[in-house]
Amino acid sequence: MASYETRVQPALDWLGVHHSQLVERLREYVRIPSVSAQPAHAPDVGRCAEWIAGRFRAAGLATEVHPTRGNPVVVARTPRVEGAPTFMVYGHYDVQPPEPFELWTTPPFDPQVRGDDLFGRGSSDNKGQHLAHLHAVEACLASGVGLPCNLVFLVEGEEEIGSGALHDFLPLHRRELACDAVVVSDNGIPDLRHPALTYALRGIAAMEVRVDGPSKDLHSGLFGGTVENPAMALCRLLARMRDEHGRILVPGFYDDVMPLSEYERAQLARLPATPSEYLALTGSPALFGEPGFTPEEQRTARPTFEINGLTSGYQGEGSKTIIPSWASAKLTLRLVANQDPGRVIAAVKAHLERCCPPTVRLSIQHGHGAVPYLTSPDGPMARAAMEALHEGFGHPGMLMREGGSIPIVSAFKEHLGADTLLLGMALPDDNAHSPNEKFNLRAYAAGMRMAVHLWPRLAAAARTSAA
Ligand code: BES
Ligand code: MN
């Protein structure tokens, strides 16, 4: 049998020949402002689902746009190969809000190429990454290379708001979506010379905390000193949740946290991330964090407690001497294996209630949650993925964990019994969720090559693990 390299060469050539068209397609995709968090963009979100469905159909996939109680879910299948394994590719067509607009060099939904980068909201998170998979499949089909397996693409429109509709959709469609493994490219790698297989994601638990004091804003001169200031009460309350190194003070919080193995620590230490790079990437004056862990370990293998937003009192021009009537905070905790979002929320809630003084009324609202993900980094499919990374990027694959969350990944395990291979293409300076988000076009091209190399290897690995 011809080697993989010879067999897939026409597909790789196809990608080379069509590269500028494939960049134009990504620009077209990024031009659609599919912001799931903002109801005003609902029509754009719908249009975006139809756009990607159209691309799947043009590539030769049988494609359906499923309405849900939320945003549509797009399911596309490659032509059936009898007796071959089936893999799912997951991605999301929704994007984060682009604000603040004034910090963008070029408008978020008017994508521009500068140097090696295509700038625009959603370019790397996640449109460029799943479009790379689509194009790799298109290349295989159009060049006559074909596919040694069945692929089902699942592209949703609510990842950035917690994947609510897909969580309902998945158990209802478990038969159509049955697969041997899932491939997700919605994450990153340290740089182009260090492509990586990610085997862990953090989970998340979101909540909103509000304290109410006086029934209206009060004159701070007339009443200051007699009633508690809710903004101050909230600050004091939140300060009791975490110490100055980020260690969470909620009793029992670390009980379920799975420690890193020595093997993992050694693998993570091989990654090229250094403290000075973290300083440069973030623009922070100094690093911070739990003693005894490297930054890479802190951001991927340790839980955190973050204030995402803090609101109280007068925010307008000039000053206003009041005791605000209320204060609120949006909070998220990032969780690691084996923490459970429900248990964590209950423990945090109990601690907040214990610590809250009687001078304000506390109310807590629960938000979205995601179970952390951890899978074994060896095994035939992981090794197949490592080889594809090497071929696609021209450098050996590394192993890494990620600090971000992809809520649906644990649900794939639960409902489909399938493990997920995370094969990210984003770079640390791609500005995910920030102004000037971009996607590196070399990563785009390498990602497409990697995907071409992936399917024959993964299909062979699935056959060995089934045998
Ligand atoms: N693609 C990211 C998650 C990600 C980023 C994973 C980098 C690994 C590396 C995803 O789109 C995302 O932002 N998820 C949200 C989920 C949340 C809203 C429930 C996140 O992590 O904040
Ligand atoms: Mn995101």
Q: What pLDDT digit, counting tens, does each position of 210-244 carry?
A: 999 999 999 999 999 999 999 999 999 999 999 99
Q: Which two tokens stand for residue 100?
A: 């603040």
**pLDDT one-digit tens code per residue, 8-54:** 999 999 999 999 999 999 999 999 999 999 999 999 999 999 999 99
Output the pLDDT for position 179: 98
The most distant pair of C-alpha atoms in the chain lies apart, rounded to whole Å, by 88
pLDDT at site 255: 96
State whether the beta carbon of 370 lies less than 6 angstroms from ligand 1. yes
Ligand 1 centroid to Cα of residue 133, in Å, is: 19
Q: Which of 406, 433, 437, when mutated, tests ligand 1's pocket best, judged by the most ligand atoms within 8 Å of its CB? A: 406
CA 21 distance to own-chain centroid: 27
* For ligand 1, atom 10: residue with the closest CA: 406
Please state the φ and ψ torsions of residue 368, each to the nearest 5 degrees: -75, 160
Instruction: Identify the residue with better confidence: 87 or 376.
Output: 87
Decide if pLDDT at 4 tops 80.
no
- Show the domains of the chain with their CATH numbers: 4-201+372-466 (3.40.630.10), 203-248+303-370 (3.30.70.360)
pLDDT at 464: 85
CA dist., res. 149 & res. 199, Å (int): 23
Supply the pTM of this predicted model.
Answer: 0.92
- Residue 96 near residue 177 (C-beta atoms within 8 A): no
The minimum-distance atom of ligand 1 relative to the CA of 198 is: 8
Ligand nearest to the CA of 372: 1
Mean pLDDT, residues 428-434: 95
Residue 273's pLDDT is what?
A: 83
Q: How confident is the model at residue 406 (pLDDT cuts 50, 70, 90)?
A: very high
Respond yes or no on whether the N-terminal peptide bond of residue 338 is cis (omega within 30° of 0).
Answer: yes
Residue 244 structure tokens: 């100055």
At 246, the pLDDT band (50, 70, 90 cuts) reads very high
Contact 83, 95 (CB under 8 A): no
Residue type, 455: W
Q: Evaluate if residue 301 carries a pLDDT over 80.
A: yes
Q: Is the CB of 186 under 6 A from ligand 1?
A: yes
Pull the structure tokens for residue 123. 């370019």
Banded model confidence at residue 420, pLDDT cuts 50, 70, 90: very high
In a 13 Å sphere around the CA of 8, the CA atoms on its Cβ side amount to 26
Residue 467 confidence (pLDDT): 59
Residues of the chain with pLDDT > 90: what percent?
94
* pLDDT score, position 368: 84
Nearest to 272 by CA among 187, 383, 188, 389: 188
CA–centroid distance, 432 to ligand 2, in Å, is 6
384-419 CB burial, b ≥16 within 10 A, e <16: bbbbbbebbbebebbbbbbbbbbbbbbbbeebbebb
Mean pLDDT of 152-168: 95
Structure confidence at residue 2 (pLDDT):
60
Mean pLDDT of the chain: 96
From 329, 304, 200, 300, select the one nearest 253 (Cα to Cα).
304
Question: Residue 156: CB within 6 Å of ligand 1?
Answer: no
pLDDT at residue 28 in the model: 98
Whether the pLDDT of residue 72 is over 60: the answer is: yes
What would the pLDDT profile of 164-188 be if each residue is shown by its tens digit? 999 999 999 999 999 999 999 999 9
Inform me whether the pLDDT recorded for 1 exceeds 70: no
Please give all residues whose CB falls under 5 A of ion ligand 2, grouped by chain where several chains appear: 125
